[in-house]
A = this chain, B = another copy of it.
Amino acid sequence: MSELRRDPITGRWTIIDMQEGPAPEPPAETETQTPGVGPQHCPFCPGHENLTPPEIYAQRQAGSAPNAGGWDVRVVPNKFPALQIEGTLSRRGFGVLDQCTGIGAHEVIIETPNHTRQTEDFTVDELLKVLEAYKARSLDLRNDARLKYSLIFKNVGTAAGATLEHAHSQLIALPIVPKRVQEELNGAERYYDFRERCVFCDMLHQELQQDERIVCENHSFVAYCPFVSRFPFETWILPKIHNVDFDATPTEALRDLSRLLKEVLERLRAALNRPSYNFMIHTAPIDSRQRDTYHWHIELIPALTRIAGFEWGTGFYINPTPPEQAADRLRGAAID
Residues of B within 8 A of A301 (CB): 312
Q: Which secondary structure dominates where chain A touches chain B?
A: mixed
| Assembled-state Cα–Cα distance A227/B23 (Å) | 16
Asked if A307 CB lies within 8 Å of chain B CBs, one says yes
Q: Which residues of B contact A73 (CB under 8 A)?
A: none
Give the most central of A14, A97, A206, A280: most B CB within 10 Å. A14
Contacting pair A315 B183 (CB below 8 A): yes
Q: Within the complex, what minimum Cβ distance (angstroms) separates A212 from chain B?
A: 11
- Asked if residues A15 and B312 are in contact (CB atoms below 8 Å), the reply is no
Q: Say yes or no: is A193 at the interface (Cβ < 8 Å to chain B).
A: no
Task: Find chain B residues with CB under 8 A from A26 CB.
Answer: 304
The residue from B30, B179, B227 contacting A318, defined by CB atoms under 8 A apart: B30
- A308-319 near B? 1/0 per residue, CB < 8 Å: 111011111111
The distance in angstroms between the C-alpha atoms of A154 and B210, with both chains bound, is 39
- The answer on a CB contact under 8 Å between A24 and B183 is no
Report whether A9 and B318 are in contact in the complex, using a CB–CB cutoff of 8 Å.
no
Stretch among A39-47, A170-178, A246-254 lining the B interface: A170-178
**Inter-chain contact B322/A16, CB cutoff 8 Å:** yes
A320 close to chain B: CB less than 8 A: yes
* Residue in B154, B184, B313 whose CB lies within 8 Å of A280: B313
In the bound complex, CA of A298 to CA of B151 (Å): 32
- Whether B227 and A309, one on each chain, are in contact in the complex, defined by CB atoms closer than 8 angstroms, is no
| Interface pair A82/B310, CB less than 8 Å apart | yes
B310 in contact with A151 (CB, 8 Å): yes
Number of copies: 2
A124 within 8 Å of B (CB atoms):
no
Partner of A316, one of B13, B153, B184, B272: B13
Residue A161 lies at the interface, judged by CB distance under 8 Å to chain B? yes
A313 to B31, CA, bound (A): 16
Q: Cβ of A134: which chain B residues have Cβ within 8 Å of it?
A: none
A191 within 8 A of B: yes
Bitwise interface map of A from 272 to 315 toward B, beta carbon under 8 Å scored 1, else 0: 10000011111000000000000000010100111111101111
Instruction: Contact check, B18 vs A312: say whether CB atoms are below 8 A apart.
Output: no
Looking at A7, A96, A299, A323, the one whose CB has the most chain B CB atoms below 10 A away is A96
Contacts known (A151-B314, A310-B153); A10 close to B184, Cβ less than 8 A: yes
Cβ contacts A to B, 10 pairs, < 8 Å: A13-B316, A23-B325, A30-B305, A30-B308, A30-B310, A30-B318, A95-B202, A153-B309, A172-B314, A278-B308
> 19 other contacts beyond A151-B314, A153-B313, with CB at 8 A cut-off?
A5-B227, A5-B228, A7-B187, A9-B191, A9-B199, A12-B316, A12-B317, A15-B318, A17-B318, A17-B320, A27-B232, A27-B304, A27-B320, A95-B206, A95-B210, A97-B203, A178-B313, A178-B316, A278-B308
Q: 10 tightest A-B contacts by CB?
A: A161-B308, A153-B309, A180-B315, A178-B314, A280-B313, A179-B315, A278-B309, A161-B306, A9-B187, A27-B232
